[in-house]
Amino acid sequence: MGAFIDLTAADGFTFPAYTAAPSGTPKGGLVVLQEIFGVNSHIRSVADGYAAEGYFVVAPSTFHRVQAGVELGYAEADMKAGFELKTAVEALPAPGVLADVQAAIAHAASAGKVGVLGYCWGGLLTWRSACLLPGLSAAVPFYGGGMTTEAEAARVPQVPVMAHFGDQDHWIPLDTVQAFQRAQPGVEVHVYAANHGFNCDQRGSYDAPAAKLARERTLAFLARHLG
C-alpha cells in the first residue's frame, strides 16, 4: 500500500519517510513514530493499517541523522543496536530529530488535521511533539519509554493526548505511570494487563486483546480530534 519518499527538515536535512494513503479522501493526516527498530516491517504494517482506516500516514525514519537504512528485528542484538542508535539521536543538539517530525507533520497536513502516534521511543517522541511542535491536533503515545520521568511529566501538552501503558512493563514501572497521571490529569491514560511492546505482533510480548482495545480507543480518539 505504501512507499518511501524523501522529506526535508527546516535545517535542510533530507531523510526517508514511509507513506501510506487511504483509498478515498483522507479523514486527516497521521504521523507514526518508530520504535528503536527503525521503520521496519511492523511499523510499515501499522502505517498501512491506519491508512486503511482512512488516514494519510507518514512514518519518518527518525534514525536517519545518525544511520541510514536501519531495519532491525527483535532479538537481543537488535535491541542493543537500536538502543545505541536511540542514544545517539537523543544526544543530537536541539531540536534534533524533532525537526524531522515537524517536516513529517507538515507533509501529513496535506490531508487535513494531523495527529501523531508512536511506540516505545516513538511514544516518547510523540509526547514531546504534543508539547513542543506546532501543527498537531492530537497525540497518542504507546508505552512511551522515558515519558513518565519527572522531567517529561513536567511538560505541557498543547493538544489532546491519549496514552497507553502496560502494567507489566519492566521499562516503565507502574508507579511512574501513576505519577505521570497525577502530574497530567488532562491526559487520557489507559493501562492494560500487558507488557512493553504489547501492540507489536512480531514480539513475544504481543497481547492481542490489549492491542485490539488500544487500537479501538485510538481510532475513536482520532475520529474525535481529526475527523
Angle between helices 98-108 and 121-132 (to 10 degrees): 70
| Set 42, 64, 107, 120: catalytic member | 120
| Set 100, 107, 169, 200: catalytic member | 169
Write out the three cell numbers for 172: 516503565
| Set 196, 200, 207, 225: catalytic member | 196
What is the DSSP-derived secondary structure letter of residue 111? G
Contacts of residues 155-160 at CB distance under 8 Å and 24 or more positions apart, as own/partner, are 155/127, 155/128, 155/131, 156/131, 157/127, 157/130, 157/131, 157/184, 157/186, 157/187, 158/130, 158/131, 158/132, 158/134, 159/130, 159/225, 160/188, 160/221, 160/224, 160/225
- 131 catalytic, yes or no? no
Strands 14-20 and 3-8: antiparallel
Over the range 84-101, which residues count as b (16 or more CB within 10 Å of their CB) and which as e?
ebbeebeeeeebbbbbbb
User: Which burial class, exposed, middle or buried, applies to 135 when counting CB atoms under 10 A from its CB (0-12, 13-18, 19+)?
Assistant: middle
* 78 contacts: CB under 8 Å, gap ≥ 6: 37, 72
- 169 catalytic, yes or no? yes
AA identity, residue 96:
G
- 6 catalytic, yes or no? no
Catalytic residues: 120, 169, 196
